[in-house]
Structure 1
Amino acid sequence: MKKKARWILLNIEELISGIALTGMLCFTVFNVTMRYVFNRPKGWATELSIICLVWATFTGAAGCFKRNQHYGMDFLVTRLPRKAQFRLRQALMLVSTVLLTFLAVMAIGFTITSTKATSYFMIPYRYINSAAAVGFTSMAIYAFHFSIMSIRDPEGFWQYYEISYDDVEMEMNLEGDLT
């Protein structure tokens, strides 16, 4: 039981995002079926689908940040010497920490001041906007953690980047097929 709770806590962003994506898919398929087969679209399904999209986006972004699975334009960084790469990535992580903390504070403020409600279910927008607060706060916490890791455990910080690049490297053979 303790192991399961720990696993859930460590993967909460991915779980929320996965549930939201599943909900979005179900509500969208249902609404498309109702619209094109029965000519009876349901407004509530669209509303729920949009709410699921917002939660999937922000929590999914946090999950990707945690695992360093965002796309990066690092073709210049990889050409630098190893020590320069490390210092640049360390500086970028510190900048990310500051930026994500700022975005988290702004998202929390935006969530607190939200006054509108959705049209069908009358769900206060603060519950929808809180997805941004959760996502940015989570990313800020991970960025802070990785910034500290870059100082305390440089090799662990380096492996954080190495592992994610090992997963996506592909080579092309002469026929143009990916291997």
Structure 2
Amino acid sequence: MNQNLKKFVSNFEIIFASMFLIVTTVLVMLNVVLRYFFNLGIFWSEEVATGCFVWSVFLGAAAGYKFRIHVGVDMIVNMCPPTAKKIIGIVVDLILLLINGYITYIAVIYLSHSYKKPTPVLNISTAFISSSLLVSFGLMTLYSVVFLIRDCKTPRPIQGEV
């Protein structure tokens, strides 16, 4: 596999979240300048900027989960012996799998109701925005399965363990 394609696949959440954030920033800044200096405005910019921001937040959350960089408190776990740390890690993986899977299920239900509702300005389906929930929590559920399998085979050392 091509090296650039490999980098893209391994970082696609960050890439798309960044693109959505750039679109949000550019649209908001452009609209501010147009309103302040020219007394004009882009009528659809707020709706598109909000949608892009929602996508950037949820894709960013999925990326944070993928790279395990979300904040966690492991003070008590660090005081446990290595075997207990590994068991706790697997239990946490299992709990997160269940939570992410359930939220993915709820996102499917929410999406099935939201596709009928149009956005106020552009009159497009709100499913374009709501699908960010399904994509991000679907990815987190997939990563939870990967983490659980990986930790059951060879449990990862928890921070502070040598």
TM-score (normalizing by structure 1): 0.81
Which digits, 9 at most, give the CA deviation of each residue in 1:19-66, with x for residues without a partner?
A: 111111111111222233333343311111101111001111110100
Quote the offset at 1:121 in angstroms.
1.6
| 2:72 counterpart of 1:69 | no
Q: 5+ unaligned residues in a row in structure 1: which ranges?
A: 166-179
CA RMSD after TM alignment:
1.8
Letter in structure 2 aligned against 1:127:
F
Q: Which residue of 2 aligns with 1:15?
A: 15
Q: Does 1:34 align with 2:9?
A: no
Paired positions, count: 159
| Aligned-partner Cα distance in 2 for 1:131–1:88 | 31
Take 2:88 and 2:62, find their aligned partners in 1: how far apart are those partners? 22
- In the alignment, the residues of structure 1 paired with residue 139 and residue 23 of structure 2 have an alpha-carbon distance, to the nearest angstrom, of 22
What residue in structure 1 maps to residue 111 of structure 2? 111
Matches within 5 A, 1:45-64: 45-64=45-64
Q: TM (normalized to structure 2)?
A: 0.88
Query: Partner of 2:34: helix, strand, or coil?
Result: helix
Q: Quick one: distance in 1 between partners of 2:108 and 2:19?
A: 23
SS in 2 for 1:104: helix
Aligned partner of 2:93 in structure 1 is: 93
**Structure 1 residues 106-160: Cα deviation after superposition (integer angstroms, max 9, x where no partner):** 1122112211111222221111100010000000000110001111122xx22xx
Higher relative contact order (Cα pairs below 8 Å, separated by 6+ residues): 2
Aligned equivalents of 1:76 and 1:35: distance in 2?
54
Q: Which moved more, 1:71-80 or 1:16-25?
A: 71-80
- Which of structure 1's runs of 4+ aligned residues deviate more than 6 A? none
- Distance change in 2, residues 1:40/1:73 (3 Å): farther
Identity between Structure 1 and Structure 2 (%): 26
Offset of residue 104 of structure 1: 0.8
Q: Aligned-pair distance for 1:84?
A: 2.0
